[in-house]
Amino acid sequence: MLTVKHLAKSYDGEKKSLTDVSFSVQPGEVTVIIGPSGAGKTTILRSINQLIRDDDGEILFDNTDIRQLNRAQLRQARCRIGMIFQNYNLIEPLTAIENVLHGCLGTKSNLAGIFSIYRNREKEEALKLLEKVGLAEFAYQQCRNLSGGQKQRVGIARALMQQPKIILCDEPIASLDPKSTITVMDILRDLATNDGISVLINLHQVDIARSYADHVIGINNGQVVFDDRIQALSDTAIASIYQKDANSEGSVVHEF
Ligand SMILES: Nc1ncnc2c1ncn2[C@@H]1O[C@H](COP(=O)(O)OP(=O)(O)OP(=O)(O)O)[C@@H](O)[C@H]1O
């Protein structure tokens, strides 16, 4: 469903942030990317929907290389790729439902988008999605008055408004308390298991990865150093993923 092949990226033309990154994501699975700070996790996620332009490789989404699409085609493809962020990226003065409706902006004409003209069908769908994430009663509250966990659930509902095949989650629980963490992770797990959506999550919390992931990609120093089912994520494997300067010359890394 999503296959990344030989992805490479340097921000400054010298230091490589990603070197030859390859992995696949299956439908209906939660795939978690773990690795030390600065390893390249965010760069991978942002390359997948082309929020940043990578330098080399292939990103096959439903057998089409996202990197080869023109602007209009990319806009269409992005409608099937939801994204949620650590800092939620909501428009705080707008209500929860208005933020969720923004999820379908990509399918609208410029004029309808600028004037936020939504059909009744779309409003009903947005309400249903807020209900799905347990926030029906907050639909008409301004997002600035919601808790962090509630904001992240609005973010998930907004992503679902796009009817995505995959949701990319960049450290979705980094700012949340333990209870909200479980609520958000349970929702993401449910979307994979029951709705067949692929969920690709950058995480720092290995214990959460152990509880929720089907598959784990370990990244160190811009390279894949682990790619296996969650059951194979031993303590030794974790130590290898997080070791300093993995992949630098002379260092022995992992046991695939
Ligand atoms: N906009 C940028 N300009 C220059 N270098 C960047 C930029 N964004 C990231 N980098 C560099 O690319 C490398 C990978 O960064 P990235 O943010 O992808 O790592 P990460 O694994 O997501 O880190 P963290 O877990 O701390 O969020 C780092 O060396 C970082 O300094």
**pLDDT value for 109:** 62
Residue of 41, 47, 247 to mutate, ligand 1, most atoms within 8 A of C-beta: 41
Could you tell me what percent of the chain has a pLDDT over 90? 80
Beta carbons of 169 and 105 less than 8 angstroms apart: no
Of ligand 1's listed atoms, the one at least distance from the Cα of 52 is 1
How far does residue 46's CA lie from ligand 1's centre (Å)? Answer: 11
> What is the band of 185 on the pLDDT scale with cuts at 50, 70, 90?
very high
Of ligand 1's listed atoms, the one at least distance from the Cα of 15 is 29
Q: 84-88, 106-110, 123-127, 236-240: which has the minimum mean pLDDT?
A: 106-110
> What is the band of 117 on the pLDDT scale with cuts at 50, 70, 90?
confident
> What is the band of 175 on the pLDDT scale with cuts at 50, 70, 90?
very high
> What is the band of 250 on the pLDDT scale with cuts at 50, 70, 90?
very low
C-alpha 21/C-alpha 222 separation (Å) is 7
Kindly tell me if the per-residue pLDDT of 256 is higher than 60.
no
**pLDDT value for 110:** 64
C-alpha 169/C-alpha 146 separation (Å) is 20
The domain segmentation of the chain, as residue ranges, is: 1-80+165-256, 87-163
How far does residue 24's CA lie from ligand 1's centre (Å)? Answer: 22
How far does residue 35's CA lie from ligand 1's centre (Å)? Answer: 12
How far does residue 191's CA lie from ligand 1's centre (Å)? Answer: 28
Read off the pLDDT of each residue in 111-116 and give the average, rounded to a whole number: 59
**pLDDT value for 246:** 56
Name the residue at shortest CA distance from atom 30 of ligand 1. Answer: 38
Which residue from 177, 178, 152 is spatially nearest to 83, judged by alpha carbons? 152
**pLDDT value for 114:** 59
**pLDDT value for 252:** 38
Sorted by sequence, the CB contacts under 8 Å of residue 227 that are 6+ apart come out as: 23, 216, 217, 218, 256
How far does residue 118's CA lie from ligand 1's centre (Å)? Answer: 37
Kindly tell me if the per-residue pLDDT of 124 is higher than 70.
yes
The helix (run of H) or strand (run of E) holding residue 242 is helix 235-242
C-alpha 89/C-alpha 244 separation (Å) is 32
**pLDDT value for 251:** 39
Q: Is the ipTM of this complex over 0.90?
A: yes
In this structure, which topology does domain 1-80+165-256 adopt according to CATH?
A: Rossmann fold (3.40.50)
| Predicted model pTM | 0.92
Which residue from 255, 231, 154 is spatially nearest to 241, judged by alpha carbons? 255
